[in-house]
Structure 1
């Protein structure tokens, strides 16, 4: 704008020029304003996407673990034959489908008792002037909770003292099966409860201590942690056998997730941010059972260098396929495949950023992957149900998958020139092209999957627990945590109740044995749960000592 004094004395031509300049300037400002508004809208979408995930590290986000079939509906009806520039995508109106509620259930083995809510049962009764005849009772099954119950197990061990001695020093001998564990004031059943509470229910030790206190048991969190570490130390041979079995599997999946160990410090003196829980899953197809034998190995590691991540692969000379999330050090593995989900996640991010106006190309690519994933898992179900053989599975999966993979990368080639390499879509396309050689490896192996979801789910469990556990104090604590998490996740994949498997291992593990064959009996497909049920039946006979007035002092063999 010009002041009055600036306009005085100007000729008509000069005034016209000033007016034209002002109009031109306004047009430029309007165009710039529109451009900036678009930028702001785009940045707001990116910010919304980022803040929506602020509590979950990118490697542990599970938003892509499940098929997003709703993305397909928009594009199935796109008119054939029209160039994309002329296609109009109209989102169809769909009525929200109500979720079918599942009935509350309890196992058939649950104890049951009949309660009769009447004193007299006449065969006939007049109600509101109408004569009614009695029929079969109306029964309603209801759930009743028996509060947490404790049993004192008084273990007896043979004890001997020297026959001839006047020495006041105690030289007695007690025949323990395992002195370190038999002397604890906690049974394998109690340790199992604590392990499951922490690593499956995400309840930290201080909360467990409070829960026990409410039920009448006083036990400090330090004692709970100490007991678990002692059991871990005695089960180290099982950890060695577990690792050996994992690296004997037909296929491995690998991933890693951050953890915190307080006494591991960086050079600055601060708690190291370079601590990780390393997840390895070994899978082997058992043709006789038409099922997969799966073992989970969690380990505490420092750093994610090539040397650290590939150490055991080289030590065990593992040559079978390995599927990962595509982290750069893994690319040095000779027989290596990468996860489709990590690729598709990038295209789903594009869809979230462009939520108001969906990117058609990104949606089409996501829909192709959904078909690819469904083709695999549909065949897996048929294989497990013995509807198809191993050979038929491999043949049918390849026939269904290869055309979809070709279609996916043909689409990539068609659209790559339309996007800037620095944009979200451009980066997703470049990632797809970079990892293309590794994405089809799974088709060669019956144990192969198009994703690394098995590891991702465990990483998610660890991340969920991390919010409750917060940290490990020491490396020993991190090692013990990773070992028991291995047992919990192995039990889940073997379809064994976690409390059954953990208690079986803690109760019957061959303590002190150096024979790997003995420890292999603790693998999930080798255990006999009837042994555990007999042991539990004995405990169920416990009765209250009516004559006892003093509380039981649980202090192990120190008294």
Structure 2
């Protein structure tokens, strides 16, 4: 904070306090302005230069005159040698079309002795081709039978169960439209005007919108089974983001609604990602969505998860990525880029924890737990000592103060990942899972109705879980839309769950 440009009378404490408060507010505004300018024009990555990654040996050394990294804790980066890589081979499962190329007959004689040349082999080079989407009409011909004697008892073959009875849409068309919107981020109006129209078909956006709502209703039995499996997981990651619904009862068109995501830690390879629409961000939403859950619940620091965290059997877990981000923001908001300051010190401790995790990410849970107990807990102990010393020294409203107080308030939840080997340091699984919805939202902007928002949640749940299970989304949706209307038992429906399908 800059000093007052003019001397203040030392006999007026109220004036001195008032001027100092103005200067403090000005310093806070400048700090936030620097952070906003960095977000607008600077690099968005949290990476910093190598000399900012030093982990100081002790908390008492948080501001040494000549900082040196601890020899036992320094990170050595091997010299990188750029290697020229060849072109990746094309996938073996793609169909091959053989096109043969021969030399002319008059060239099939040896230029040396004149004798006829004989084929001794071939050289094969591959090119990738694509066949544009083709559109066709399926004619369902149902034979009719009648009696020539009494002319009664006419019987007509039944039409197989359809995803949308009475509609012109086949499972393939519905899967194409749903994949284009929920995977490729193409709004329905673009599909209407730029894709379907180019193929010579006039289908109004209102019609395709209704189709998506009906598809969302159709897959509800699958969503119910997926939720039952989700609640059996030992660890669930949760996150939420805003969405907009134009025609929502009791709310203005521009008001915020929310899309919630829950990701189950895989059990028996059952990867589950569920989206749910809700008109609010209140704590009652996760209470309802996770009713009956017992296990670890990993979230960010949003207070809306506090209520479910107090339920018997639910253990709240924090997110180190959010803690790290706040220290990174404090660095970006600094006027003096002092690499030995507290912001860098806090970030260095957190990076050391991530370095340990990086070394054991492929290890089994028992090994991860052992390493965390032996290596991570001592680093956490040093970080706690440094945090206790730093808290009284930093104003809480500064960016660094917010980082320190977030770390302090979330401490018990943050260190919980050391309890079990299957736990994670951060909530990135949920943040990564919700990103496709955020990207799609930039294109289609809003849902017209709550029914549309709920349908989108169901369809996002299916395509994202299918992707997590290694399935091609369009092929999977076509299978679901074709087979689900014909399912006659719970076993038939279970067979359509993503982890029960084989990749093609």
Give the alignment's TM-score, normalised by structure 1.
0.72
> 498, 518, 522: which one pairs with 2:492?
518
> 230, 255, 273: which one pairs with 1:273?
255
**Which structure's relative contact order is higher, taking Cα pairs within 8 Å and 6+ residues apart?**
2
Partner of 2:205: 221
Distance 1:488 1:73, change over 3 A: farther
> 124, 132, 146: which one pairs with 2:131?
146
Distance 1:309 1:394, change over 3 A: same
**Mapped pair 1:193 → 2:176:** yes
User: Does structure 1 conserve the Cα–Cα contact (< 8 Å) formed by 2:163 and 2:482?
Assistant: no
Task: Give the superposition deviation at 1:49.
Answer: 3.1
Q: Distance in 1 between matches of 2:225 and 2:450?
A: 21
User: Does structure 1 conserve the Cα–Cα contact (< 8 Å) formed by 2:31 and 2:335?
Assistant: no
* Aligned pairs for 1:109-258 within 5 A: 109-110=93-94, 111-116=96-101, 118-119=103-104, 121-122=107-108, 140-157=125-142, 175-178=158-161, 181=164, 183-209=166-192, 210-258=194-242
> 391, 398, 403: which one pairs with 1:428?
403
Task: Give the superposition deviation at 1:282.
Answer: 1.7
Distance 1:308 1:272, change over 3 A: farther
Task: Give the superposition deviation at 1:495.
Answer: 2.1
Q: Distance in 1 between matches of 2:415 and 2:257?
A: 32
**Mapped pair 1:455 → 2:430:** yes
Q: Distance in 1 between matches of 2:214 and 2:149?
A: 36
> 38, 50, 54: which one pairs with 1:76?
54
**Mapped pair 1:312 → 2:289:** yes
3-state SS, counterpart of residue 403 of structure 1: helix
Task: Give the superposition deviation at 1:454.
Answer: 1.3
Q: Deviations over 1:121-162 (max 9, x none)?
A: 446569xxxxxxx99766543322322223443344465679
Gaps of 5+ in 2: 9-19, 70-77, 113-118
* Aligned pairs for 1:24-43 within 5 A: 42=31
Task: Give the superposition deviation at 1:421.
Answer: 1.5
Q: Distance in 2 between matches of 1:117 and 1:182?
A: 54
User: Does structure 2 conserve the Cα–Cα contact (< 8 Å) formed by 1:259 and 1:276?
Assistant: yes
3-state SS, counterpart of residue 465 of structure 1: helix
Distance 1:108 1:355, change over 3 A: farther
Q: Distance in 2 between matches of 1:305 and 1:40?
A: 30
Partner of 1:330: 305
Distance 1:125 1:425, change over 3 A: farther
Q: Deviations over 1:425-460 (max 9, x none)?
A: 011101100010111223334442111111111322
> 78, 83, 87: which one pairs with 2:66?
87
After the TM superposition, which of the residue ranges 149-158 and 483-492 deviates more from structure 2? 149-158
Partner of 2:37: 48
> Max radius of gyration: which structure?
1
Q: Distance in 2 between matches of 1:73 and 1:157?
A: 76
3-state SS, counterpart of residue 167 of structure 2: coil
Task: Give the superposition deviation at 1:37.
Answer: 11
Q: Distance in 1 between matches of 2:258 and 2:147?
A: 52
Q: Deviations over 1:189-235 (max 9, x none)?
A: 22222111111110111212221222333333222222222222222
Q: Distance in 1 between matches of 2:161 and 2:64?
A: 76
Partner of 2:72: none
After the TM superposition, which of the residue ranges 39-48 and 293-302 deviates more from structure 2? 39-48
Q: Distance in 1 between matches of 2:397 and 2:241?
A: 28
3-state SS, counterpart of residue 76 of structure 1: coil
Partner of 1:536: none
User: Does structure 1 conserve the Cα–Cα contact (< 8 Å) formed by 2:394 and 2:401?
Assistant: yes
> 269, 272, 277: which one pairs with 1:295?
272
Q: Distance in 2 between matches of 1:442 and 1:26?
A: 50
Q: Distance in 2 between matches of 1:521 and 1:501?
A: 12
User: Does structure 1 conserve the Cα–Cα contact (< 8 Å) formed by 2:163 and 2:481?
Assistant: no
Q: Distance in 2 between matches of 1:172 and 1:356?
A: 87
Q: Distance in 2 between matches of 1:46 and 1:224?
A: 43
Task: Give the superposition deviation at 1:259.
Answer: 0.7
Q: Distance in 2 between matches of 1:346 and 1:189?
A: 46
Partner of 2:326: 346
Q: Distance in 2 between matches of 1:63 and 1:223?
A: 42
3-state SS, counterpart of residue 326 of structure 1: coil
User: Does structure 2 conserve the Cα–Cα contact (< 8 Å) formed by 1:202 and 1:465?
Assistant: yes
Distance 1:293 1:406, change over 3 A: farther
Q: Distance in 2 between matches of 1:364 and 1:97?
A: 31
